[in-house]
Structure 1
């Protein structure tokens, strides 16, 4: 089974016929609204793996001499299976944000409130941008783009709620600890890349 979302996404693009590499990149970018950058090198590496796994085969050359690819019966069966297989927790990518906060809470030199506030500000900015795009998405008559934007917006709403929860937990912990046990939040020698207030 393919695990990589880019590989599945590219395989799905073959459903309406043969394509060449740069065409796949353009269509992938269009369908994801440019929110998931994939370079041409990654496209061709992924195509090689799809061919190796028997999901895609060569379809000759285009009129311009570009190598064309098409989905195989095996690839179509795998794609149909992917569509109806729920994404489980173990399939989800690791969250860099969760890892960052986990590491930051163990480091007395890091002010967790600053880390959370910076991320919350950025997440809210992204949510505003996606919400603006969503307002105009209905005008296009396309179903895919509004659904994709809704997914991004709902994910950011969830992330902001989680950040609020994380901040509240940190504040509760600091209120429970005796003052003598608290280490200063920011040392005189800040971590590399740490933002100064």
Structure 2
């Protein structure tokens, strides 16, 4: 996920200060990805350095207001039109953990799979409940949150299916005596 482009996208609406951007990001994504305020201000500094945002002074309460520049508008419009690259898969800590566990002595990979499946199923239940609770609302921000929740649901369902496959392969590895 690119915080850089997310902040630019939010600044298209109107100028804001860092904390407002953080709150707006979390609100529009259903608080699925907590955003560190330090990361927001570090990213804003880089965007300013790159000429994509500018400081518009203060709001009178000590908050520095940022607005998007014409170059920033071009950057964010290009981001929205470009597909997310699939050239290098994202790092998957769970896959790394299980792969390493299989190659090291004394690691109970089956227990790791069971523990992860329990956590994943619990998360899936929470996402599904949140989606059901939100589905009756019909605002654009609710639709945006629903899209994020749907993505999380599909990813978690895929993880549970993959864990089932891992367990089946582990049983094959153990042989007929298992």
TM-score for the superposition, normalised by structure 1: 0.83
Aligned to 1:186: none
Of 51, 72, 79, which residue of structure 2 is paired with 1:54?
Answer: 51
Aligned to 2:104: 107
> Is the partner of 1:69 in helix, strand or coil?
strand
Aligned to 2:134: 137
Size of the aligned set, in residue pairs, is 175
How much does 1:23 deviate? 0.3
2:88 and 2:5 mapped to 1: Cα distance?
13
Rg larger in structure: 1
1:5 aligns with 2:6: no
1:159 and 1:6 mapped to 2: Cα distance?
25
2:8 and 2:135 mapped to 1: Cα distance?
27
Query: Which digits, 9 at most, give the CA deviation of each residue in 1:137-173, with x for residues without a partner?
Result: 1222121111111010001001111111111112112
How much does 1:91 deviate? 5.4
Unmatched segments (≥5 aa) in structure 1: 180-197
Quick check: 45-54 or 84-93, which moved more?
84-93
Runs of 4+ in 1 over 4 A off after TM superposition: none
What is the RMSD computed on CA atoms of the aligned residues? 1.8
Aligned to 1:154: 154
Quick check: 62-71 or 142-151, which moved more?
62-71
Unmatched segments (≥5 aa) in structure 2: none
Query: Which digits, 9 at most, give the CA deviation of each residue in 1:126-147, with x for residues without a partner?
Result: 0000100000112221211111
1:91 and 1:48 mapped to 2: Cα distance?
28
